[in-house]
Structure 1
Amino acid sequence: MRSVPMLAVAMLLALFVGCASTESSSGTGEYIDDTVITTKVKAAIFNEPTLKSAEINVETYKGVVQLSGFVSSKADIQTAIRVARSVKGVKSVSNDMELK
């Protein structure tokens, strides 16, 4: 009978360790946070009237947002970076956008 609680504790410990993040992968909570950040950045870019959001791709990993795609001007690049940085939870922005 005593082994049942020990087994339950071992299973819980394994579950928590399995959901933890490492340098090369994010945990479940971080993945959800990154998904929320990506969605918020995409919405903010979409709501920026000077940007063509369909040509800007957004990816997030551990709070670092990567912007890629094609824009018409350097001003568009700066605007997209500014908009992305203004979103809560964004730690930094990596710019991989290119001019058309």
Structure 2
Amino acid sequence: MKQPVTRILVASLLALATASSVYAADKMHAEKTDKSAAAQYVDDASITANIKAKHAEDKSVRVTAIGVETKNGVVQLSGFTPSNTEKARAEEIAKTVPGVKSVKNDIIVRAN
């Protein structure tokens, strides 16, 4: 019972962060038509938030165990997992997010 509530809470918070990032990106884009470093940072933050939200929705990925960082559309996954299946699933999910150019999967598989 606690785990679904936690996943919903995490997904909600990540969705809120994503919405804030999108709003900020739109506002910055209206002020300057070319893609500034700040706008790229906002895009990367939005990609990261979207990946974390999708990880939270997927029951096969432990969202608290997987780290996500994005720079210029390149996503790096990190953390520890007990299975190759979870490692692969986290990467598959990341690749589905719009704006992702590539994924570097540095998740380490180790037994508990």
For the aligned pair, the TM-score class normalised by the smaller chain equals: 0.7 to 0.9
**Residues in 2 aligned to 1:78 and 1:64: alpha-carbon distance in whole angstroms:** 17
- The corresponding residue for 1:67 is 77
Choose between structure 1 and 2: higher strand proportion: 1
- The alignment status of 1:43 with 2:53, answered yes or no, reads yes
TM-fit CA distance, 1:74: 0.6
Q: What does the per-residue CA deviation read over 1:26-69, in whole Å, with 9 as the maximum and x for residues that have no partner?
A: x0110000000000000011111111110000000000000000
Give SS of 1:65's match.
strand
Max Rg structure: 1
Q: Distance in 2 between matches of 1:68 and 1:44?
A: 16
Displaced runs of 4 or more, over 4 A:
none
Structure 1: runs of 5 or more not aligned:
1-15, 21-26
Letter of the aligned partner of 1:95 in structure 2?
A: N
User: What secondary structure, in the 3-state scheme, does the structure 2 residue paired with 1:54 have?
Assistant: coil
Answer 1 or 2: which has greater helix percent. 2
For residues 1-100 of structure 1, what are the structure 2 equivalents within 5 Å?
20=36, 27-100=37-110
Q: How many residue pairs were aligned?
A: 77
Q: Unaligned regions of 5+ residues in structure 2, if any?
A: 1-31
Percent identity over the alignment is 39
| SS across alignment from 1:67 | strand
Query: If the length of structure 2 is used for normalisation, what is the TM-score?
Result: 0.65
Aligned-partner Cα distance in 2 for 1:45–1:67:
11
